[in-house]
């Protein structure tokens, strides 16, 4: 059974995809970029501010689906530049202080809207 998850507290999809899909007890969250859902614009600032917004967007989708950060089992972090890894990691770590999920992090050539970070997430209940 597949259920589409959507919330106005996270940016809407800007293409033919869903914010998240719930299949059984697993939630698949599409890659989130640092768009403020209230303004529809990329947040100002650097990697710290952008990572914070991405994590808030993930949190809003988790909440909409009845999940929390403690249910996250896997993240994939896409960075525009690996020199931002340490600063991203510092913000990211605040959301997973204990038993953090498995994770991959790597640099890509370019991200949508020229953002510095995108994170996709899988959570299981």
pLDDT tens for residues 55-111? Answer: 999 999 999 999 999 999 999 999 999 999 999 999 999 999 999 999 999 999 999
pLDDT at 87: 98
pLDDT band at 1 (very low <50, low <70, confident <90, very high): confident
User: Judging by DSSP bridges, how do beta strands 102-107 and 72-79 pair with one another?
Assistant: parallel
The Cα-based distances of 76 to 1, 9, 41, 101 in angstroms read 24, 21, 23, 10
Give the domain CATH number at 54.
3.30.1330.40
Has residue 9 got a pLDDT over 90?
yes
DSSP 3-state assignment of 43? coil
CA separation for the pair 3, 22 (Å, rounded):
5
Structural tokens at position 87: 């600063």
Cβ-contact 57, 32 below 8 angstroms = yes
CA-CA-CA-CA torsion sign (51, 54, 104, 81): negative
Confidence (pTM): 0.97
Has residue 15 got a pLDDT over 90?
no
pLDDT at 59: 98
CA separation for the pair 61, 54 (Å, rounded):
11
Has residue 13 got a pLDDT over 90?
no
28-57 pLDDT per residue, tens: 999 999 999 999 999 999 999 999 999 999
Domain region containing 74? 2-124
Cβ-contact 21, 86 below 8 angstroms = no
Number of domain units in the chain = 1
pLDDT at 14: 80
């Amino acid at each position: 059974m597949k259920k589409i998850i959507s919330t106005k507290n996270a940016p809407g999809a800007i293409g033919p995809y869903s914010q998240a899909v719930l299949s059984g007890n697993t939630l698949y969250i599409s890659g989130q970029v640092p768009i403020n859902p209230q303004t529809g614009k990329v947040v100002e600032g650097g990697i710290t501010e952008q990572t914070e917004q991405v994590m808030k967007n993930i949190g809003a989708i988790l909440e909409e689906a009845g999940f929390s950060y403690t249910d996250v089992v896997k993240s994939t972090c896409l960075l525009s530049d690996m020199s931002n890894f340490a600063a991203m990691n510092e913000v990211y770590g605040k959301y997973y202080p204990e038993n953090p999920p498995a994770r991959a992090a790597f640099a890509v050539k370019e991200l949508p809207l020229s953002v510095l970070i995108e994170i996709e997430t899988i959570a299981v209940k």
